[in-house]
Copies of this chain bind each other. A is one copy, B any other.
Amino acid sequence: MANESIPYKIYLSEEELPQTWYNVRADMKVKPAPLLNPGTGEPMGFEDLRPVFCDELIRQELDNDTREIPIPQEIRNFYKMYRPSPLIRAYCLEEKLKTPAKIYYKFEGNNTSGSHKLNSAIAQAYYAKQQGLKGVTTETGAGQWGTALSMACSYLGLDCKVFMVKCSYEQKPFRREVMRTYGASVTPSPSDQTRIGQKILSDHPGTTGSLGCAISEAVEVATSHPGYRYVLGSVLNQVLLHQSVIGVETKTALDKYGIVPDIIIGCAGGGSNLGGLISPFMGQKLRGEQDYRIIAVEPASCPSFTRGRFAYDFCDTGMVCPLSKMYTLGSGFIPSPSHAGGLRYHGMSAILSQLYHDGYMEAVSVEQTKVFEAAEQFARVEGILPAPESSHAIRVAIDEALKCKETGEEKTIVFGLTGTGYFDMVAYEKFHNGEMHDSIPTDAELLESFSHLPAVPGQSK
């Protein structure tokens, strides 16, 4: 281990913190499809989105052309509390696997939110504050986004209302207290506090909730309370823009040591981490400067890329949000309650969906028992207790490293370690006790879900 000249952890200095976010859409020949108004089927413009989102964030959402967008100084100051994040050489994992592959991971868990979500939370809260708003509403699944947003709002003095997917609320009781520590209000979703929540509870009694439901509730509250807007932790173009800070730092760190990755791997729920991590590398690929294998990893129980349809669909279960063209399992799809590993969203970032459709990246789905095996193996040698979400990427990184062991290839693998698993011990406990099962939707279940895709001109069901 000690005979390598590359350190265990590559830290950039605060001066090397990126000055700009990188907007991958500028380099895409085929742009992601525009959001559509669910009532008219027309593309949604600035004014259409204003009741829901902050003005500056809408500009970022709609901007397919500007390659570099400056990061405001106030956001950079906040970033300095926990960034640049380390790029870590997994020497101990390599040794354990006895692989000739060189494995690196970009670790985004070294902040109290425990994940990369803080990168976009502070940006969205900042623009809300700039606009003179009172507060923001949002949904959270595993609780990472809600925690991140409550931290950012607390820092800026904004009110923060979080709707938390009910099964996570129950599985992760302590997440609520972290959010309360940061002054947020947290409501399990579906709740009886919104019309849409009441309807979902009445149509599906006993539902454990989904991100789609929680989004509908948060949007309803934002649009019915003056001075509030809705913010979202993934899926949107603006979120991938903010998360590009992960990829830009990763590339800067690799460039410093002359390292060129062969394979880049990220877990994918809504796509925020994966999109952020790969963005500058994808930019090179789109411009024809460099080729990389880019792999999205998703749970077998929520397989948007690998078994979904590339189609316009609602972003939320309540069908109040715009339509987005994306890989989707249908906005009514809810993963089995036995699924513990996060990444529960029915759809996928429009940017990543277009890139996947156009052949710029691969996708694989993995079963959660295999994911937790990889998580435990990683924890024991690398020291970090990974979040289940992040462990999807670990699973595939290990699989690729083991392929290198067979072939003898010294490939360089980079993956995103998006967060820590401190609040996922109920899931780890199930795994330790042999009580974790894989639950994969049947073809019939998916067909039923696809049958509810909205009618959009030119789109067949």
A residues adjacent to B (C-beta < 8 A) = 1-2, 7-9, 11, 13-14, 73, 77, 80-82, 92, 110-112, 114, 151, 154-155, 173-174, 177-178, 180-183, 376, 379-385, 420, 422-423, 425-426, 428-429, 432
Q: Are B81 and A178 in contact (CB under 8 A)?
A: no
Q: Are B112 and A182 in contact (CB under 8 A)?
A: no
Q: Chain B: which residue is nearest A430 at the CB level?
A: B177
Which of A73, A178, A385 has the most B CB atoms < 10 Å from its CB?
Answer: A385
Q: Are A432 and B177 in contact (CB under 8 A)?
A: yes
Across-interface contacts of A422 in B (CB, < 8 A): 114, 174, 178, 422-423
Q: Are A11 and B8 in contact (CB under 8 A)?
A: no
A155 to chain B, nearest CB (A): 7
Across-interface contacts of A82 in B (CB, < 8 A): 383
Selected contact of A1 from candidates B13, B77, B423, CB within 8 Å = B77
Selected contact of A383 from candidates B9, B151, B376, CB within 8 Å = B151
Q: 6 closest A-B pairs (Cβ-Cβ)?
A: A174-B425, A422-B422, A177-B425, A8-B80, A112-B385, A154-B380
Q: Are B80 and A181 in contact (CB under 8 A)?
A: no
Across-interface contacts of A80 in B (CB, < 8 A): 7-9
A416 to chain B, nearest CB (A): 18
Q: Are A381 and B7 in contact (CB under 8 A)?
A: no
Q: Are B432 and A112 in contact (CB under 8 A)?
A: no
Please measure, in the bound complex, the distance between the C-alpha atom of A154 and the C-alpha atom of B425, giving whole angstroms. Answer: 18
Across-interface contacts of A181 in B (CB, < 8 A): 376, 379-380, 385, 428, 432
Q: Are B383 and A112 in contact (CB under 8 A)?
A: yes
Q: Are A2 and B77 in contact (CB under 8 A)?
A: yes
Q: Chain B: which residue is nearest A89 at the CB level?
A: B80
- A379-B432 contact, Cβ under 8 Å, with A112-B420, A384-B112, A422-B422: no
Q: Are A2 and B73 in contact (CB under 8 A)?
A: yes
Across-interface contacts of A110 in B (CB, < 8 A): 110
Q: Are A379 and B182 in contact (CB under 8 A)?
A: yes
Selected contact of A425 from candidates B178, B376, B381, B428, CB within 8 Å = B178
A157 to chain B, nearest CB (A): 10
Across-interface contacts of A182 in B (CB, < 8 A): 379-380
Selected contact of A9 from candidates B2, B14, B380, B429, CB within 8 Å = B14
Please measure, in the bound complex, the distance between the C-alpha atom of A423 and the C-alpha atom of B428, giving whole angstroms. Answer: 15
Across-interface contacts of A13 in B (CB, < 8 A): 7
Please measure, in the bound complex, the distance between the C-alpha atom of A92 and the C-alpha atom of B429, giving whole angstroms. Answer: 38
Which of A1, A155, A420, A422 has the most B CB atoms < 10 Å from its CB?
Answer: A422
A198 to chain B, nearest CB (A): 28
- A112-B379 contact, Cβ under 8 Å, with A11-B11, A181-B428: yes
Across-interface contacts of A155 in B (CB, < 8 A): 92, 380-381, 383
Please name 28 pairs of A and B residues whose Cβ atoms are closer than 8 Å in the assembled complex, sorted by A.
Answer: A1-B77, A7-B13, A8-B14, A8-B80, A8-B81, A11-B11, A92-B155, A111-B384, A112-B379, A112-B383, A112-B420, A151-B383, A155-B381, A173-B425, A174-B422, A174-B425, A174-B426, A177-B429, A177-B432, A178-B385, A178-B428, A180-B428, A181-B379, A181-B385, A181-B432, A182-B379, A182-B380, A422-B423
Please measure, in the bound complex, the distance between the C-alpha atom of A182 and the C-alpha atom of B428, giving whole angstroms. Answer: 11
Across-interface contacts of A92 in B (CB, < 8 A): 81, 155
A341 to chain B, nearest CB (A): 15
Please measure, in the bound complex, the distance between the C-alpha atom of A26 and the C-alpha atom of B449, giving whole angstroms. Answer: 73
Across-interface contacts of A385 in B (CB, < 8 A): 112, 178, 181
A80 to chain B, nearest CB (A): 4
Q: Are B8 and A428 in contact (CB under 8 A)?
A: no
Please measure, in the bound complex, the distance between the C-alpha atom of A422 and the C-alpha atom of B419, giving whole angstroms. Answer: 13
Q: Chain B: which residue is nearest A381 at the CB level?
A: B155
